[in-house]
Chains A and B, each alone.
Chain A
Amino acid sequence: MLAFQILIDGFAISALYALGATGFTLIFGVSGVLNLSHGAIMVLAAVAAWAAASVLHMDTYSGALVGVAVALVAALVTYYVVVQPLQKSTRIPNEEKEIFVLTGTLLWGIMIQELIAYFFTNNAKTVLPIVEGVIDIFGVRTPKNEIFTAAVCCLVIGLLWLLVNRTRTGKAVLAASMNPRGVTLLGLELTNIYIVVWAIYGILAGIAGVLLGMFLGVSSYSVGPLTASAFSIVVLGGLGSVSGSLIAAFVVGYLETLTAYLVSPAYRTIPALLLLVIVMYVRPQGLLGRR
């Protein structure tokens, strides 16, 4: 009974983590950007979906779409307003650009967080679930929304895999992550690829944010922890490795769920962080990292 409970809850939370971390790692893999405004964009999506439904009285589906659309716009704005100007700047030495982008996205995330708190208060918001009610799985009373969350996450990750491996655009993205110079030599504009990646990222973060809002709820306080959890999952899996992130998301998700059920909910995040420290010692490149 408890085993099934852990299996089901752990799967839903892990799938959500995986979706959140995939976009994050994709951007790093392709353009070398660690986007520290990640948590803020996810929260923004959830709050937008909440506001569309609760303030503007849209239906649940439209609300969710608004949330994803807002995240897409926010991701593109992040790229055009924060990342691109720093990358193109001639006054910042090349070797310092990464740290500038890191700081820039961090500050950008804090700005979004403060704006959310200012306009919508720092109280938690929850998005109305698309499917309501519960069903019984092996004696575990499971909210249908939890199954929906897991299904959507798997579906979206599957679609992403198809996009990257089966379409021309996807192959260009993949090529850019392996050898940016080679891609430009083939006559492809690197900037265009970056825009595609940021757009994909925005949609992924948006879906993850809205689903998180339905599943657990978010507040402006969630910004930091969400960025941190995506960051640690990605580091654990190997920076830039999508499959590594997926595995790491499930390792972290199940480790947290096991701790919450078997030890205490208060210590939920501790074992995963300890694991991260151990991996850093014995395998600094992460589980599936190439470098």
Chain B
Amino acid sequence: MKRTSKSPVFWSLPTLLGATALGLLATSGHALAADPIKIGVIAEAQAIAGASIPQAAQMAADEINAKGGVDGRKIEIITYDNHSSSADSVRAFQRAVNEDKVNIVISSYISEVVLALEPWASRLKTPFITPGAASNEISKSVHNDYEKNKYTFHGYLTSAALALSVCDAAKELLVEQKHMKTAVIMSEDAAWTTPLDIGYEECLPKIGLKVLDHIRFSPDTTDFTPIFNKIEGAKPDVIITGISHVGVQPTVQWKNQQVPIPMLGISSQATNSTFGADTNGAAEGVLYQGVSGPDVPVTPKSLPFTQGFKAKFGNFPSYAGYTSYDEVYYIADAVKRAGSTDADKLVAALENTDWEGTIGRIQFYGKEDQFTHSIKYGKGLITGLMLQWQDGKQVAVWPKEVAKGQLKFPSFIKVTSN
């Protein structure tokens, strides 16, 4: 085939570079004291997990502005709906940086979207934090090419840390309390579950749960009967989940088909307070990992945030709402410490973050760590929680310090070691 015209990439690159240069020129001048700090928020407005991101960010900005802002500068949140699409997100990112002149971007709970934005944060030299994506690759890229990718921060746990958190909870709740011995991993085929599954395969045998089978399925699966059928055939004591794009459907079918095996693991949709109603109560007994819960005082800041959010928006925030709220605060803190919104100075200040937020104490892994710029996992920092849907409510059952209830399962579940 003969090329008759230049591909769009060829002509768009100089245009973009030009626009970026103009953008840099425009922002490089000395910021006036009254100049607002602009934070671009690109999120999935139609998804429950994504909808909380701009809402929580705005709430944090309003609170900071009410107290006089950062050194007299107000925080301005500019939001963009990405329709859960990577392409839309990239366009929004370019618009945010080149036209709306944002200083930093908070975006998305979907790993595929964040991985698409990461090179743009590098090209446009704009700091960028995700409040909810999990893929290890996000922070690994920062580690592998620090100078280029240092603009990206991973404001949520990596899949590796999530797997650890699930295993830590499963050890106490399932192995020590219920004497379970075997498990089947059930996860959706997506960027974030590849490292999660590696983490599960590694840590489950260590805590004493033998992995009998491992089922990965397409995220557009609607009929889970064959999957549960296969799992039951393996006779495990527990199903360890890794689901986010799906959630309502497998949970409802699990209950309707009365699959007698409990589910524990990552089930992102279960973190939403609407999950109970969306599943018509089928969520009862589902155990899911979270960094927060509507009634869990992880830190003194947790409950005032959840209650304030509920009062303002009518529902509890999704998990990415908590992180997005914290992010605006520690960005403001970093701007204050850096005394500037200059990208490189802001990156350096963010690296030194030590902020008690709503989900724990937030610090970032350094240049030498495997997951550079990802939030640190561990005791005294962020350990995550295990919660269970009980009587239509999300109840914390692990760790002991914040647990409000014991494990409780619907009658069709048989909690015994096979």
Contact = CB atoms under 8 A, between A and B. Distances in A.
Interface stretch (A89-97, A118-126, A187-195, A236-244): A118-126
A13 interface: yes
Interface in A113-145: 117-118, 121-129, 132, 134, 141, 143, 145
B360 interface: no
B216 A266 contact: yes
Say what secondary structure dominates the interface of chain B. Answer: loop
Interface stretch (A30-38, A79-87, A173-181, A217-225): A217-225
A260 B223 contact: yes
B278 A128 contact: no
A186 B353 CA distance: 83
B220 interface: yes
B47 A217 contact: no
A117 B51 CA distance: 12
Contacts of A219: 248
B226 A122 contact: no
A217 B229 contact: no
A123 B278 contact: yes
Interface in B232-257: 246-249, 252-253, 256-257
Most buried by A among B220, B221, B229, B277: B229
A195 B378 CA distance: 65
Contacts of A265: 217-218, 221, 223-224, 226-227
Contacts of B249: 124, 126, 216-217
Q: Give chain A's interface residue range (CB within 8 Å of chain B).
A: 35 or more
Nearest to B257: A143
A98 interface: no
Nearest to A142: B257
B224 to A, nearest CB: 8
Contacts of B46: 117-118, 121-122, 220
Given A9-B225, A121-B51, A265-B227, A126 B257 contact: no
Contact of B229 (A5, A126, A220, A225): A5
Contacts of A128: 280
B257 A260 contact: no
B229 to A, nearest CB: 6
A221 B278 contact: no
Nearest to B269: A123
A271 to B, nearest CB: 14
A221 B274 CA distance: 18
A266 B223 contact: no
B333 interface: no
A283 B311 CA distance: 62
B220 A225 contact: yes
A126 B279 contact: yes
Given A54-B280, A126-B280, A129-B256, A261 B229 contact: yes
Given A126-B279, A126-B282, A266-B218, 7 more contacts: A55-B277, A126-B278, A141-B258, A216-B249, A217-B222, A222-B222, A260-B225
16 contacts: A9-B223, A55-B277, A123-B48, A123-B272, A216-B249, A216-B253, A219-B248, A221-B220, A257-B226, A260-B223, A261-B226, A261-B229, A265-B217, A265-B221, A265-B223, A266-B189
**6 tightest Cβ-Cβ pairs between the two chains A and B:** A124-B248, A260-B226, A117-B46, A217-B249, A128-B280, A126-B252
Interface of A: 5, 9, 13, 53-55, 117-118, 121-129, 132, 134, 141, 143, 145, 216-217, 219-222, 225, 257, 260-261, 265-266, 268
